[in-house]
Amino acid sequence: MKNFFNWFKNSTKIKRWMFLILIGIVLTCFGFSKMLSSEKLEIGDLLQIVITFVVGFTCFILGIVYIQRRNLEILIEKNSVNVDASDNNTELKKLVSKNPIYEKGPNIVVIGGGNGINNILKGLKNYTSNLTAIVPVSAYGRPSNASIKELKLNPVDDIKSSIVALSPNTEGMDDLMNYTFTDGKLKNLSFGDIYLYVMQKIYGDFTSSIEKSSNILSMVGKVLPVTLDEMNICAELQDGTVVTDKSKIAEIVSSKVTKINRVYINPSNCRTAPGVLEAIKNADAIIIGPGSLYTNVIPNLLIKNVAKTIRESKALKIYISNIMTEPGQTDDYDVSDHINSILEHSGEGVIDFCISDVGEIVPEYIRKYNLMGSDVVNIDTSNIRNRGIKLIKGELATAEGNYIRHDPDKTAKLIIELICGDLRFKDKHNDEQYVLLNSRLKEENKKAKTAKKEAKRFKENKKEKKDDEVIKRTSKFSNKYKERIESIKESEKTRLENIRIHEKAKKMIDEEEQKEKEKFLKETYSKKEKK
């Protein structure tokens, strides 16, 4: 009986639809009763009965539809990830089964590397647990018998960063993975390197060790290296220079004042790591970028069959443009230049949508980037649309320390809205996936509005407080020096009055002198005329 009354709590949002059903029943019954009790029906009475009946029946049907929809939302919310124990959603646990029955959100594959995609992963993990990060590894072909000393020579920073991004406690995992020993035999080694080394020793395969980490570290989703084959990222510059060391590409491009013509991998037939192509084939959405265009994003697409599988996929293919250009790689690049480079390396059909930032960036940050040779990426809308790519703009930039990054929540929300729109277009309004995402978007929008109102209120209160302090300080000053202020005012008034009297007296004297002068001249002329 207790569980029955839980349905009437505010957190369930069921009562409103029950009330709508009740209104529908009352109006329908009223229409029937009036029709049966009336001996003679006039046109006005008949019209009233029809309207009452139609409105009542509509309310009844809508109430049934929305109460069923809300039941589905409650069921999905119960089985969704990242439910805050302090949230009102915990009340819903009493209403539904404890066994999860749905896959938790759409399959999303994120391809790239570095801090760019990690911020995207941080945001997306709040909407789905079916996340796969496909990243390049700076230590390809690590032998299984490598010694612990070799770890510091072959860091796997992108793998570690993605593990951190997909962890439930991002800050805690970041501290753990990046903790560096300062003494003993482990000096200069990080915990993350040691962990990956030990996992590879246990499971014998680098990919398997990373996949197992998903369960061991309770990650939301999984991380996959794009290949296990040893490879080198090379660049051919416009002046014909070939750079075979990835770490020196930007330096040589800047020193030669040239641009990158293309990048390629050596050897060119590197195989994809297990699970990569399957993840792309099963994806509902494929996210490319953001990240270093020529060293983190495009190399993933050059691995055998990766670009081909993306082109053949029916998933939404979304490119997230960088906010700032990268010195030595994308100097003076517009958004369309980034897109053109990706398409030239991987072929047409790997991008359907492009998400770009149009938010305001604090000028001080831009100046810092300008000093490093970087600038804001220009959005050349017409050139993007000429490639048949739909442009989506949003205020996505945020300051993270001294850097400009994509805001995880805002960017993820824009991606999920795009997926929801696609599901709606496919007439999947009642699909559990759509209901789940739509419900979460509504909650996020509500939280965003509340946060915005609180920020505005805080700002107004701060301003009022400041104004009150100014008034208070002014009032205190006035009370202390009141007599002195009055004396100064009186002296100033007297001084101005004296000046006015002096000017008036001077004017009178001047007028009198003018009269005397005219009188003298008149008398002089009259005497001359008599003579």
CATH code for the domain of 109: 3.40.50.10680
Judge whether 429 and 420 are in contact, CB under 8 Å: no
418 and 276 within one domain: yes
416 and 277 within one domain: yes
Which among 426, 444, 469 is the end of a domain? 426
Report how far apart, in Å, the C-alpha atoms of 17 and of each of 13, 25, 169, 341, 486 are. Answer: 8, 12, 38, 53, 70
Return the pLDDT at 429. Answer: 61
In angstroms, the CA 261 to CA 245 distance is: 16
275 and 126 within one domain: yes
User: Which 8-state DSSP code applies to residue 231?
Assistant: -
Return the pLDDT at 457. Answer: 77
Of 390, 280, 300, nearest to 342 by C-alpha is: 300
Return the pLDDT at 376. Answer: 94
> Hey, CA dihedral for 86, 88, 89, 91, is it positive or negative?
positive
- For strands 397-400 and 403-406, give the pairing: antiparallel
Return the pLDDT at 379. Answer: 96
75 and 122 within one domain: no
Residue 136 included in any domain: no
Return the pLDDT at 482. Answer: 62
Residue 314 included in any domain: yes
Residue 475 included in any domain: no
Residues 6+ apart with CB under 8 A from 333: 293, 325, 377
- For strands 285-288 and 108-111, give the pairing: parallel
124 and 87 within one domain: no
Return the pLDDT at 468. Answer: 62
386 and 297 within one domain: yes
pLDDT tens for the chain, 531 residues: list them.
556 666 666 666 777 888 888 888 888 888 878 777 777 777 877 888 888 888 888 888 888 888 877 777 666 555 544 444 444 444 444 444 333 433 567 899 999 988 889 999 999 998 888 999 999 875 443 444 445 555 443 457 788 888 889 988 888 888 988 888 888 878 888 888 888 888 888 888 777 888 888 888 888 889 999 998 888 899 999 999 999 988 899 999 988 888 999 999 998 889 999 999 999 999 999 999 899 999 999 999 999 999 999 999 999 999 999 999 999 999 999 999 999 999 999 999 999 999 999 988 888 889 999 999 999 999 999 999 999 999 999 999 998 888 899 999 999 999 999 988 887 666 666 666 667 777 777 777 777 778 777 777 777 776 666 666 655 555 554 555 566 667 766 777 777 877 887 787 777 777 777 777 777 767 766 766 665
393 and 286 within one domain: yes
Structure token pair of residue 76 = 């999905």
416 and 279 within one domain: yes
> Hey, CA dihedral for 327, 332, 338, 340, is it positive or negative?
negative
56 and 124 within one domain: no
348 and 322 within one domain: yes
Residue 438 included in any domain: no
Other residues' Cβ atoms within 10 Å of the Cβ of residue 28 = 19
The total domain count for the chain is: 3
Structure token pair of residue 356 = 């770009």
Which among 94, 120, 151 is the end of a domain? 94
Return the pLDDT at 499. Answer: 81
275 and 392 within one domain: yes
Residue 158 included in any domain: no
Of 378, 373, 363, 274, nearest to 322 by C-alpha is: 378
Structure token pair of residue 323 = 């906010």
Which among 66, 94, 122 is the end of a domain? 94
71 and 10 within one domain: yes
Return the pLDDT at 304. Answer: 92
Structure token pair of residue 66 = 């929305």
Range of the domain at 506: 481-531
Return the pLDDT at 463. Answer: 67
In angstroms, the CA 131 to CA 149 distance is: 33
As a whole number of Å, the CA-based R_g of the chain is 37
Return the pLDDT at 79. Answer: 54
Return the pLDDT at 333. Answer: 96
In angstroms, the CA 118 to CA 161 distance is: 7
Residue 207 included in any domain: no
Residue 179 included in any domain: no
Judge whether 14 and 70 are in contact, CB under 8 Å: yes
Residue 252 included in any domain: no
Q: What are phi and psi of 391, to 5 degrees?
A: -95, 130
